[in-house]
Amino acid sequence: MSLLRVENLSIQFGGVQAIQELDFEISEGTIHSIIGPNGAGKTTLFNLITGLYRPSAGAIYLDDAQIAGKRPHDLARMGLSRTFQNLRIMMNMTAIENVMVGRHLHLNRNLLACMLRLPMITRADKAARKRCIELMDLVGLGGAIDADASALPYGALKRLEIARALASEPRLLLLDEPAAGLNARETKEIDDVIATVARAGVTVVLVEHDMKLVMGISDHILVLDHGRKLAEGTPDAVRNNPAVVAAYLGQV
Amino acid sequence: MADIRPSGYSKHRKKQTYTRRLGTRATPMQVLMSERIGGMGALIVIIAALPLLLANNYQYDVAITIGINAIVVVGLNLLIGYAGQISLGHAGFFALGAYASAILTARYGLHGALAMPLGALGVGLLAYIIARPILRLSGHYLAMATLGVGVIINIVISREAWLTGGPDGMYVPPLEVWGVELYGGPIWYWIVAAFLVLAVWISLNIIDSPVGRALRGLHGAEVAAEVAGVDTTRYKVMVFVISAVMASVAGSLAAHFSEFVTPEKASFFHSILFVTMVVFGGMASTFGAVVGAAVLTLLPQLLADFASYEHMILGLIMMAVMIFMPRGLVPTLTGLARRRGARR
Amino acid sequence: MPPAFVELLQFLFSGITSGAIYALVALGFALIYNASHVINFAQGEFVMLGGMITWLLLSHGIDLPLAIAGAVAATVVVGLALEKLAIEPVRDANVVTLIIITIGAGIFLRGLTSVTLGKDLHAVPAFSGNEPLELLGATIMPQSLWILGVTAAVVLALHLFFHFTILGKAILATSHNRLAARLMGVNVNFVLLLSFGLSALLGAVAGILIAPITATHFEVGIMLGLKGFAAAILGGLGSGLGAIVGGLLLGLIESLGAGYISSDYKDAMAFVVILGVLFLMPQGLFGKRGTERV
């Protein structure tokens, strides 16, 4: 059964059709990649799915519940999480605090309890910190736990985004170009992290330009061009699709 | 539903020992330097020792005014310093608290201890109602809207003389507890001190909690916080209300202490003074807020010797500190101390 | 003419007069905001200086035209000094820090004025007498015509400057994209300096024009500055047209509100309206509406 289903989805910005009548499904437990040339609408699609944009037409279903137009924090509650292509790091906080913001929904947010610093708050914070440290270890940031986020290099911040997204324990994780700007070794490490996350049962949707990573890791690939679906299928099917070769791979 | 167990993720995990990073890492020195223990300790020691230095009523007045301002600024710092939302109208909430106490006790005979929470409740309600539309704004538009709220409160207080005494202000009866009038510097010093310590404690608690991380998170990267499940609108409204209520309580204290209120308390200049105290002491630093309130309350008193030059010098100092220490006094100084400590 | 109409006309005249002043102040805000994204809370002090220095020079027996020129020149020097000494060194600081610096500058300038020129209210004579003119039954002061005429001339001059001179275009380019402008060879620091000079000029002109009507005082800039800011926001921050429309609108609302609703709440009208507009249109009337890129 599909976890996420997109039907006839469209959005326009001042006359420009960024996404046009898009249909696709993502089944639970798979790694699903979205590729396409720059400006194909990949990030726009992510913004639609995570509630940052409201579609002009069409519907998005998560477990058969219509979610288009819901606010991002409501979608987080439903198990959606994502990273950003242009980093969205809280530079005014430490690395671990960034990850702990990701655990927000799993903690007691009662204002009175927080104001009085009841023992249950400190206990839960301690446990949350422990879990977040594990996540930071997972993405290879075990050495930067209490560092100021603003002091970390670019590659570390990309991992920090992933750790923060994982901290909410999502069912559906959307990664927007996690390997962009990373070297070969770092890309391989991110690759491993994604595989590990998927093995734990999280459905992963990936926007990525690194074809080696995409072809190696994906169960299913969706190719976008000018906001439309160009092709869809297994990596092999997409690789050999003449339309894709002509429109996309041919250019590289 | 898939349950992610981070502990199931990593093959390398077992090589690491977490306990080192889970709290035992702090040395006694670090504990003393920490905000919660060291900072609270230092604040309490200073408050306890200060009366030894206070020689007369005037000096008590200044110390009490510092404490009252510090309560407002600690709350405002939650809003501006931590959550990153500016307000140029908080003197309005301060004045509403003061006038609520004044009017409810002087005109309706309520007990002061009842008037203060009623005022705070009313101010909190008002702040809650206006916060939603206001906090959709950001940057200069938010500055304008909050400024507008402050100015309107100020004008209403000045015009509705039948209730507020108008521009001349009104008399406030002294606070009475079990038949004893609370009057004079020494008594009020301890009352205000207790409220200030409570305000600082609450502020530190909030910051170091899920709520505080949500506030700082929406300041640092609003979209990311939202995606992580933080209802950013709700938290902005929440912190706006908290800071307004703290201002209202401080206003009530000020009214009963000075036994007189004037619309001046709601003036734009007064709002600006509160914001300046936040930035001056250091944004996103609770003790910075206290230091900022202390310095900027003391400064005009010290400058009183320069009589008419007071405002010129105050303006110059405000500019100089912002130019040479844009992060504010406390973060700049603790940063210096830390660097020096590291070199040693 | 029916009395109700005359009354309305009277309110409109006074509304447009003060609206023109608000528009000038708002333009000053918009200019500096465009060049630097700073809200200059000392803008009201430029207005105050214009009026006070004119009075000072007049009281020393200097002719009105010369006194006006001197007051404008002195205020511009103050504006340039403010940019050079207090804004340029911290140009990339955060918004709140910059706001506090300009507020500090405002307090300093008020203090300086009260020390040197005193705390009294000073009258400045109208440019061409106090003989009211009659128009459709309502009266209008010659000074109001001066205000409207000079404001129109200033707006026209600014329009020509921004659209037909290299310097004006450089300022516009910088406001659109500072980095690109720098790459194109625009001296961004100079543009910043110029915008403060121009804003000071606009403020001084507004202060000189209004001084014969309201008299002048070292604290006259506070309310005028706040209302000018409100007008700039009402029109959409950074929009020149918006500043003018916002200013006129604010003046009219104030005058009609004071006339028909409550004169006690004249000063509050502007802020009630601005809150309403911001609640409904968070970007002001003419502000840019942009989708945040994620």
Q: What is the mean pLDDT of chain A?
A: 92
A233: left (phi over 0), alpha (psi -120 to 50) or beta: left
B108 or C1, higher pLDDT? B108
Token pair of B54, please?
């206070």
Q: What is the nearest CA distance from B99 to chain A, expressed in angstroms?
A: 27
pLDDT in tens, C41-81: 999 999 999 999 999 999 999 999 999 999 999 999 999 99
Say if CB B132 and CB B233 are below 8 A apart.
yes
Span B140-170, pLDDT tens digits: 888 889 999 999 999 999 999 999 999 999 9
Which pLDDT score, from 0 to 100, does residue C95 have?
A: 76
Decide if pLDDT at B13 tops 70: no
Q: Which of A169, A201, A223 is the last residue of a domain?
A: A169
What average pLDDT does range C145-163 have in this prediction? 94
Same domain as A60, residue A107: no
The arithmetic mean of pLDDT across residues C216-231, rounded, is 92
Residues of C in contact with A43 (CB under 8 A): 294
pLDDT for residue B101 is more than 60? yes
- Cβ within 8 Å, pair A126-B22: yes
Sign of the C-alpha dihedral, residues A119, A125, A129, A131? Answer: positive
**Cβ pair A86:C291 closer than 8 A:** no
| pLDDT at B62 > cutoff 90 | yes
- pLDDT score for C54: 97
What fold does the segment set B56-339 form as a domain? ABC transporter involved in vitamin B12 uptake, BtuC (1.10.3470)
In chain C, where the domains are located: 26-221
Q: Please state the rounded mean pLDDT for residues C74-90.
A: 95
The predicted pLDDT at position B143 comes to 87
What pLDDT was estimated at residue B4? 43
**Distance from C-alpha of C277 to C-alpha of B145, rounded to nearest angstrom:** 10
How far, in whole angstroms, is CA C155 from its chain's centroid? 12
pLDDT value at residue B121: 98
Q: Is the model's pLDDT at C294 over the cut of 90?
A: no
For residue A148, give its domain range: 84-169
Please provide the DSSP assignment of B62-96 as one string: HHHHHHHHHHHHHHHHIIIIIT----S-HHHHHHH
User: What stretches of chain A adopt beta strand conformation (E)?
Assistant: 2-13, 16-27, 31-35, 57-62, 65-66, 80-82, 172-176, 203-207, 220-225, 228-233
Contact C293 A13 (CB under 8 A): no
Give whole-number Cα distances, B207 to A97, A108, B197, B202, C218, in Å: 11, 14, 15, 9, 42
Q: Flag whether residue A32 sits within 8 Å of chain B, measured between CB atoms.
A: no
Q: What are phi and psi of A50, to 5 degrees?
A: -90, 5
> For the residues B236-252, what does the mean pLDDT come to?
98
pLDDT higher than threshold 50 for residue B329: yes
Clarify whether residues A160 and A96 are in a common domain.
Answer: yes
pLDDT at res. A153? 94
pLDDT score for C288: 57
Q: How far is A21 from chain C (nearest CA, A)?
A: 22
- Tell me the chain C residues in contact with residue A86 when contact means C-beta distances shorter than 8 Å: 293-294
- Closest partner residue to A52 among B219, B221, B223, by Cβ? B223
| Whole-Å CA distances, C12 to C127, C149, C249, C255 | 22, 16, 11, 7
Residues A242 and A218 both lie in one domain: yes
Contacting residues of C for B151, CB less than 8 Å apart: 226, 267-268, 271
Distance of alpha carbon C255 from alpha carbon C13, whole angstroms: 9
Question: Do residues A25 and A6 make contact, with C-beta atoms less than 8 angstroms apart?
Answer: yes
> How many angstroms separate the CA atoms of A71 and A58, rounded?
17
> By the CB < 8 Å criterion, does B152 face chain C?
yes
The predicted pLDDT at position C58 comes to 96
The number of distinct structural domains making up chain A is 2
Alpha-carbon distance of B41 to B49, in angstroms, equals: 12
Give contacts of A164 with chain B, Cβ < 8 Å: 224, 228
CB B222 within 8 A of CB A98: no
Angle of helix B210-220 relative to helix B232-258, nearest 10 degrees, comes to 110
Across all residues in chain C, what is the average pLDDT? 90
What is the predicted pLDDT for the residue at C201?
Answer: 97
Cβ contacts (< 8 Å) between C120 and chain B: which residues? none
DSSP per-residue codes, A169-209? --SEEEEESTTTT--HHHHHHHHHHHHHHHHTT-EEEEE-S
| Angstroms from C280 CA to nearest CA on chain A | 20
Q: Does B161 touch chain C (CB under 8 A)?
A: no
Let me know: does B225 contact B217? Beta carbons within 8 Å: yes
- DSSP alpha helices (H): ranges in C83-137? 95-117
What's the mean pLDDT in A156-171?
Answer: 96
**Which chains are adjacent to chain A, needing at least 3 Cβ pairs under 8 Å?**
B, C
Q: Which of residues 280 through 339 in chain B touch C, CB cutoff 8 A?
A: 280, 283, 308-319, 322-323, 326
Closest residue in A to B238 (Cα–Cα): A111
Q: Which chains touch B (3 or more CB pairs under 8 A)?
A: A, C
**CB contacts, 8 Å: C89 with chain B:** 323
- C-alpha separations of B54 from B5, B50, B51, B61 in Å: 59, 7, 5, 10
Residue A71 and residue A195 in one domain: yes
Q: Chain B within 8 Å of C264 (Cβ-Cβ)?
A: yes
**Mind telling me how many Å the CA of C294 is from chain A's nearest CA?**
7
Nearest CA in chain A to C289: A14
Tokens of B304: 């009183």
Give yes or no for residue B21 having a pLDDT over 60.
Answer: no
The token pair that represents B318 in the structure block: 């405000």
Mean pLDDT of C106-119: 94
- The nearest CA of chain B is from the CA of C161 a distance in Å of 27
Nearest-by-Cβ selection for A135 from B6, B18, B220: B6
pLDDT score recorded for residue B29: 66
User: Taking CB atoms and an 8 Å cutoff, what residues of chain C touch A47?
Assistant: 294
- Pick among C85, C88, C99, C107 to test the B interface (most B CBs inside 10 A): C107
CA–CA gap between residue C230 and residue B144 (Å, rounded): 7
Average pLDDT, chain B: 88
Q: Which of B152, B267, B279 would you mutate first to test chain C, the one with the most C CBs within 10 A?
A: B152
To the nearest 10 degrees (0 to 180), the angle between helices C166-176 and C3-36 is 80
Of the candidates A220, A217, A173, the residue with the CA atom closest to the CA atom of residue A192: A217
Interface touch B309/C93, C-beta < 8 Å: no
Contact (Cβ atoms closer than 8 angstroms) between residue B171 and residue C268: no
What is the DSSP annotation of B284-319? T-HHHHHHHHHHHHHHHHHHGGGGGGHHHHHHHHHH
Over range B171-192, report the average pLDDT: 87
User: What 3-state class would DSSP assign to A222?
Assistant: strand
Tell me the C-alpha distance between A178 and A42, whole Å.
13
Q: Which residues of A touch C294 (CB under 8 A)?
A: 43, 47, 52, 84, 86, 88
pLDDT of residue C238: 81
Q: Decide if C25 contacts C43 (C-beta within 8 A).
A: yes
Q: CB B230 to CB A121 under 8 A?
A: no
Whole-number pLDDT of residue C57 = 97
Q: Report pLDDT for B260.
A: 95
Chain A residues near residue B335 by CB distance under 8 angstroms: none
Q: Which of C104, C237, C275 is nearest residue B140 as measured by Cβ atoms?
A: C237
Residue C235 has pLDDT above 50, yes or no: yes
Asked if residue A175 and residue A60 are part of one domain, the reply reads yes
Quote the strand ranges of chain B, DSSP E: 170-171, 175-177, 180-182, 260-261
pLDDT at residue B3 greater than cutoff 50: no
Q: Is residue B312's pLDDT more than 50?
A: yes
Cα C113 to Cα C132: distance, rounded to the nearest angstrom: 32
CA angle C54–C60–C63, rounded 5-degree value: 60
Domain boundaries, chain B: 56-339
What CA–CA distance (Å, rounded) separates B52 from C169? 65
Pairwise CA distance, residues B270 & C58, whole Å: 35
Q: Summarize the confidence of residues B7-20 as an average pLDDT.
A: 39
CATH number for the domain spanning A108: value is 3.40.50.300
| CA gap B42, B139 in Å, rounded | 35
Residues 75..134 of C with a Cβ closer than 8 Å to B: which?
86, 89-90, 93-97, 99-101, 103-112, 114-115
Q: For residues C45 and C48, what is the distance between their CA atoms, to the nearest angstrom?
A: 5
d(C-alpha C275, C-alpha B216), whole Å = 27
**Which residue has tokens 């320069």?**
B306
Q: Which of A132, A153, A169 is the last residue of a domain?
A: A169
DSSP assigned state of A80: E
User: What pLDDT, on the 0 to 100 scale, is given for residue C175?
Assistant: 80
**Position with higher pLDDT, B4 vs A144:** A144
Specify the pLDDT at position A247.
72
Which positions ≥6 away from A207 have C-beta within 8 Å?
A: A33, A34, A35, A42, A43, A46, A85, A174, A175, A176, A177
pLDDT at A36 over 80: yes
Range of lowest pLDDT (A98-102, A248-252, B184-188, C70-74): A248-252
Contact B266, B142 (CB under 8 A): no
Name the band, by pLDDT with cuts 50, 70 and 90, for residue B297. Answer: very high
Determine how many CB atoms are found less than 10 A away from the CB of residue C193: 18
Q: Residue B310 — very low, low, confident or very high, per pLDDT cuts 50/70/90? A: confident
The distance of C292 to chain A (nearest Cα, Å) reads: 10
Distance CA C97, CA B279 (A): 7
Strand partners, A234: none
- Taken in order C268, C273, C274, C276, the sign of the CA dihedral is positive
Instruction: State whether A177 and A164 are in the same domain.
Output: no
Stretch B85-111: mean pLDDT: 96
Cβ within 8 Å of B, A 40-99: 50, 52, 71-73, 76-77, 79-82, 84, 88-93, 97-98
Residue A11 phi/psi, 5° resolution? -150, 140
The answer to whether the CB of C191 falls within 8 A of the CB of C170 is yes
Asked whether the ipTM of the predicted complex exceeds the cut of 0.85, the reply is: yes
Residue A192 token pair? 């491993």
What whole-number distance in Å separates Cα of residue C232 and Cα of residue C32?
Answer: 11
Please give, rounded to a whole number of angstroms, the shortest distance from the CA of B254 to a CA of chain C: 25
Q: How confident is the model at residue C174 (pLDDT cuts 50, 70, 90)?
A: confident
